[in-house]
Amino acid sequence: MMKFPSRVMTIAGSASGGSAGIQADLKTFQELDVYGMSVVTAIVGRHPVTDKNVHPMTIEAIEAQFSTAMKQVGVEALKTGMLFSKEVIEKAAELISDSSIEHIVVDPVMVGKLDSKLLEDEAIEALKEKLIPLAEIITPNMPEAAFLLDGRKLTSVEDLYRAAEDLYQLGPNYVLVKGGRLEGPAVDVLYDGKIFTEYEAPRIDTVHTSGAGCSYSAAITANLAKGLTVSEAVLEAKSFVTTAIEHGFTYTEAVGPTYHAALRNYGEAHKIKVKQTT
């Protein structure tokens, strides 16, 4: 009897260059052998005349996409990415609350790779109050953690630990604070209210990391849908994304993507060091 792949959904922005957002999520889902679906919240692409970069979807379009995916297929695990506005965050939280989806991953996308703003100011409180409490795990990078902590500066691994502990108070079951902007090894810290788990990978010397955060949270989502625990899901996802970063590339002079097919094509995943403390 054929075993069908687990079902996963991403609610996020569409990145026209293909390196981040919905595109990165779906590539990750495919590589990890889960059935990926999407709800596009906005199209990200800079207009050559007006310079406008974010083109939002209507609430009706967001509702229609979610309803169609749920009715036609169903969902075991869901991640949110760029939601952009207060209204979209509130709608996403409503749709998730009214569903029976088991695993919710919230990637609180606020700041892009080149520090571009991807969330309206008034939306931050809605994110903290409406969406984050629904999450099994949230996955902020350092600038996003700083925003959620009212501008606190994070400059060390020790700061990641304190940030994870404080962000846990917002209501998720787990917090993963990513230390990608520190120097030295690439360290991320997971906290479940009792135990800290530190994941350490070698830092890859490349600027071609567009979509790495999206791919990381998408890989966590895929792994949760396949039955891994949160700590296992993060470990496998970090190995996947580190391997993808190692083989990142570009077609132009712009910052290029992580290579989602790196593990499939090169066959050797990065080993991740794990340390737990209470």
Digit-coded pLDDT (tens) for 22-38: 999 999 999 999 999 99
Q: What share of the chain is helix, strand, coil (3-state, %, to 5)?
A: 40, 20, 40
51: containing domain: 7-277
pLDDT at 84 over 90: no
Give the Cα separation of 192 and 140 in Å (integer).
15
Give the Cα separation of 118 and 39 in Å (integer).
17
- Is 250 inside any structural domain? yes
Instruction: Mark 118-131 as b/e (b = at least 16 C-beta within 10 Å).
Output: bbbeebbebbbebb
Q: Return the structure tokens found at 172.
A: 């998720």
Give the residue among 161, 157, 194 at the shortest CA–CA distance from 278: 194
Q: Name the domain count of the chain.
A: 1
- Is 82 inside any structural domain? yes
Across 104-113, 162-171, 259-268, least confident range: 104-113
- Is 2 inside any structural domain? no
- Is 104 inside any structural domain? yes
**What is the pLDDT confidence band of residue 113, given thresholds at 50, 70 and 90?**
low
Give the Cα separation of 269 and 134 in Å (integer).
32
Q: What is the mean pLDDT of the chain?
A: 94
pLDDT attached to residue 118? 59
- Is 1 inside any structural domain? no
Q: Tens of pLDDT along 179-212?
A: 988 989 999 999 999 999 999 999 999 999 999 9
Integer angstrom CA distances of residue 225 from 60, 79, 103: 27, 11, 7
The pTM assigned to this predicted structure is: 0.95
Residue 24 zone, left/alpha/beta (φ > 0; ψ -120 to 50; rest): alpha
pLDDT attached to residue 116? 55
Give the Cα separation of 124 and 170 in Å (integer).
12
Mean pLDDT of 137-165: 94
Gap between the terminal Cα atoms of the chain: 44
Length of the chain: 278
**What is the pLDDT confidence band of residue 112, given thresholds at 50, 70 and 90?**
low
pLDDT attached to residue 3? 87
CATH number, domain at 43? 3.40.1190.20
Mean pLDDT of 132-156: 94
- Is 65 inside any structural domain? yes
Helices assigned H by DSSP within the chain: 21-31, 59-72, 86-97, 123-126, 142-148, 157-167, 212-225, 230-246, 262-266
pLDDT attached to residue 265? 93
pLDDT attached to residue 151? 87
pLDDT attached to residue 160? 97
